[in-house]
Structure 1
């Protein structure tokens, strides 16, 4: 009986023999067959050095270059434009926020999908878009210095943002063959700051600038201080910007920031508890609490005012800019005296939060506008301004000297100058009223307790996301009625009150302490019944909110203790606005002594540096607000006649 046939199990060597036999039968050399066999006993490196995500079917060209500066440092730069463009203007942006990431929003093959939303109108009309990392950040070489000052006493090197912009523009017009040799510069916030710095001894090819919400003076009213009061959230920005590894937000957790800052004590104690004193930028802020030469030497408005303006400039800011409301109007005021023909510098104030001009801007918090105001501005005003200065065959220039959006009436308005209203005092009056005529003398008092500061928002507070972006338009009823907040109100308006400018504060006040802060809010109070907009019934909309640190009443560079009981004239300005208080509404003015945790607490006793205040320095104080007579507190409104 024959044995059963069983399956043949081949060993590796047997498989090899079969392969050799098969190769011989197929006429293939055995060595070649071995090379084609899987290498099961070796793990190959599967990483590939590079992948070009811009595919041949892309409708654009995107290239990256390292542009050399005069000191040999090379700056990472992205150049992107539609295929086929020629004789094209360049729109340039210098950023500390990652040029590569900003110019690859989506890894799409369509240029309008790759670039930020605000770029679409430009690249679709043949503009070349250029993004560059500032020195020391992301792909660029060199050392990073926060808001690097101009060459001089605060910067002993031979380079700054002005020279870097000059050298970059020089390289671009010589090496980008698609260019017509004309460059415009733009950007918001820090990018607005670098746009302004390019105007210092500018390259001849720089023909136009659109700085948006620029960081101009970090002490007077932009990111770090407002009229001497320190904005403690700046620690998060400093940690995120100046730490190569482990940066980002201060690791205080996700709880109520009001409680976190209150528990920490002074700004320096807070910084110490989170190890922030190792950061040079944060140490500098703590070491310079007053408006000394260090801050004054960095003020961009002062630097530009000392030079002749040669580049047409459109300055842009949001009416409710929660970060940099000061800079653009300050530069406008500094440069306007040079603009004898009213055509070199213009000011734009839109109904926006910080940088919202570059995004969809149909609304802000509960407020809704007539369409996308950001898109309206870019297409109707910004692009025509750049076209007329940058295109080879340019349309005529018709740039409004001042362009503002009238909130409350929801319309764009053109003015020939700014402010565009006549300052008219609205006096604090008895029975917590407001009067257009000076009232009889009187006063109101409240106790300010640093242990229970007035919050900036209802608690819990998280200064991030939409809560931070929209806080300036939050309903102020959450503090109206607190014993440490005084609210003064007009009667119901029977006609519109239209203001165009920066309302001015003239607060006549005394304190039982030796220092103190004062916060004034200008508020539009909506009717209690509002069937058309029920969510706005009784709403108290902040039109302007600003703080003043009392120790600087005699000068921002010369802090001094206040004399208890003495009445002082505290004078400062609210942010610039174009707003219409409509009939049926009321005007309110609120006065308080803290806005926490946005601003650090004033101890209300005297300490040379509030940054280093000790727990025992924080004391209660009675604040007395005088009204009428020879000490008439008022808000001066820039009233326009329509």
Structure 2
């Protein structure tokens, strides 16, 4: 029988205490992590994207990114952004983005969790993109690889797109226009701004004693399919598990009559308050499937996470310096979500979920400001009332990288 990691982490309380119980303090790196909870010089000086940006580009590079990378959804795109400006002829830096978990590009790419693709996407990558690239530079007499600077799988339509740059939207003629998708009164999502007489906020109680699990319990330990574990697919889990909770606020659009395509990083602009002095904000952009899906009845009503992340409120002003939050004051929180290349199809709906814990993927915020959350004491954890605002002068929205065609 399998124990529940949710219970394991809850019983320890804090990350520091969990490490102490497991004897991790004998590891020098663990001690350094505990000593540097903020993005200070210790972390900045070893950030690979910054190190690469400071060096010249000498060799051709192919960067492979997985849209549902459960272990490093940041790295590949950050490296691309760091070195692409050095590729003045657009022929040395190649970016590939697939509908995969971490490392699935070398596995079977026909499915991911409940998602079934119309081809083996990973095999296509290896045969049509990777092999010609390696042959050109490593095999004598091999032909020039006819591959685009960017090969981006388009989720939603199940199509490979071959692009001149990223984000580009399409091969030619498209523009990517940052477009606000507003969290609106009545738990709606709309592309028009809130109106003056609308309700001004949604409210929920965030209780660290009952944090929102990041997936359905029991929470399995981190591990791969060969060990019978489903950790690789959690980013495509059905989010209905969360949307039924009272401490998760859910905003939904009307049923789409035309496709909505995004290419790039959605940017969260959240106006929120807490009755405490610290808070975490988890924001998820979700594709809600129609109630009935032909040929795949198990996908009826499915809530697929397209892009999501967590932001620790104490870093609202600076990732380097933690600062207490003024209680009961609506404040702006602006942060980027992971890169997406997705089409929300007609008949689907857009959804945004907002919550304040994602446990135990991330440690709980005590919701009372303490110098180092890794060492928060049991008495530091307190309930707080959180509000998400959607008034004209304090509108919360996600800036979507919306693709428009002429």
TM-score, length basis structure 1:
0.60
User: Partners of 2:193 and 2:110 in 1: how far apart?
Assistant: 40
Give the equivalent residue in structure 1 for 2:206: 448
Alpha-carbon distance change, 614 to 382 in structure 1, aligned in 2, over 3 angstroms: same
Following the alignment from structure 1 to structure 2, what is the Cα–Cα distance between the partners of residues 531 and 406?
20
Question: For the Cα contact (< 8 Å) 1:402–1:415, is it kept in 2?
Answer: yes
* Alignment of 1:283 onto 2:31: yes
**Which residue of the other structure, out of 370, 382, 387, is the alignment partner of 2:118?**
370
Contact 1:427 1:628 in 2 (8 A): no
Rg bigger for which structure? 1
Report deviation, 1:457: 1.1
Tell me, yes or no, if the aligned pair for 1:361 and 1:375 is still in contact at 8 Å. yes
Tell me what 2:138 maps to: 390
1:462 counterpart = 2:220? yes
Number of residue pairs the alignment of both structures matches: 390
Secondary structure at the residue paired with 2:32?
Answer: helix
Name the structure 2 match of 1:597.
Answer: 360
1:292 matched residue in structure 2: 40
**How many Å separate the matches in 2 of 1:624 and 1:600?**
21
- Provide the residue aligned with 1:400 in structure 2: 148
Is 2:54 aligned against 1:306?
yes
Work out whether 1:417 is the aligned partner of 2:165. Answer: yes
For 2:356 and 2:322, the matched residues in 1 are separated by 18
Q: Deviations over 1:394-441 (max 9, x none)?
A: 312433121111111111001222223322110000100011011125
- Residues 493, 586 of structure 1: 8 Å contact kept: yes
Aligned residue in 1 for 2:69:
321
Query: SS of the residue aligned with 2:341?
Result: strand
Superposition CA RMSD, Å: 1.3
TM-score, scaled relative to structure 2: 0.94
- 1:251-266 matches, within 5 Å, as 254-266=2-14
Q: Distance in 2 between matches of 1:454 and 1:277?
A: 28
SS of 2:394's equivalent in the other structure is coil
Could you list the per-position Cα deviations for residues 584-613 of structure 1 after superposition, in whole angstroms to 9, with x for gaps in the alignment?
000000000000010000000010000000
Report the CA distance between 1:583 and its aligned residue.
0.4
What's the counterpart of residue 514 of structure 1? 277
What's 1:212 paired with? none
Q: 2:384 matched to which residue of 1?
A: 621
Decide which of 531, 537, 557 is 2:320's aligned counterpart.
Answer: 557
Q: Summarize the alignment of residues 238-257 of structure 1 with structure 2, pairs less than 5 Å apart.
A: 254-257=2-5
1:348 equivalenced with 2:111 (yes/no)? no
Contact 1:520–1:592 under 8 Å retained in 2:
yes
1:317 Cα deviation after fit: 1.1
TM-superposed deviation, 1:286: 1.1
SS in 2 for 1:470: helix
Aligned partners of 2:397 and 2:91: how far apart in 1? 35
2:272 & 2:167 partners in 1: Cα distance?
27
Match of 1:584 among 347, 371, 374: 347
Q: In the aligned structure 2, how far is the partner of 1:550 from the partner of 1:402?
A: 35
Report how far residue 309 of structure 1 moved: 0.9
1:281-301, Cα deviation, whole Å (9 max, x unpaired): 211111110101111111010
Q: How far apart in 1 are the matches of 2:143 and 2:36?
A: 48
Q: Distance in 1 between matches of 2:391 and 2:92?
A: 43
Aligned-partner Cα distance in 1 for 2:5–2:339:
29
- SS at 2:404's partner residue? coil
- Return the match for 1:548 from 311, 320, 340: 311
Q: Contact 1:605 / 1:618 at 8 angstroms: preserved in 2? A: yes
Describe the superposition over 1:435-472 as per-residue Cα deviations: whole angstroms up to 9, x where unpaired.
10111251111110000000111111113334211111
Deviation of 1:254 after TM superposition, in Å, equals: 4.0
Aligned-partner Cα distance in 2 for 1:371–1:397? 22
Check whether the contact 1:343–1:399 (CA below 8 A) recurs between aligned residues. Answer: no
Equivalent of 1:486 in 228, 246, 249: 249
Choose the corresponding residue for 1:436, options 177, 191, 207. 191
Higher relative contact order (CA 8 A, sep 6+): 2
Pairing 1:66-85 to 2, within 5 Å after superposition: none
The structural deviation recorded for 1:339 is 1.7
Query: d(CA) in 2 for partners of 1:569 and 1:337?
Result: 31
Looking at structure 2, the residues matched to 390 and 497 of structure 1 have their Cα atoms a distance apart, in angstroms, of: 41
For 2:100 and 2:132, how far apart are their aligned partners in 1?
21
CA drift at 1:351: 0.4
Distance across 2 between alignment mates of 1:529 and 1:368 = 16
Q: Which digits, 9 at most, give the CA deviation of each residue in 1:61-84, with x for residues without a partner?
A: xxxxxxxxxxxxxxxxxxxxxxxx
- Map of 2:109 onto structure 1: 361
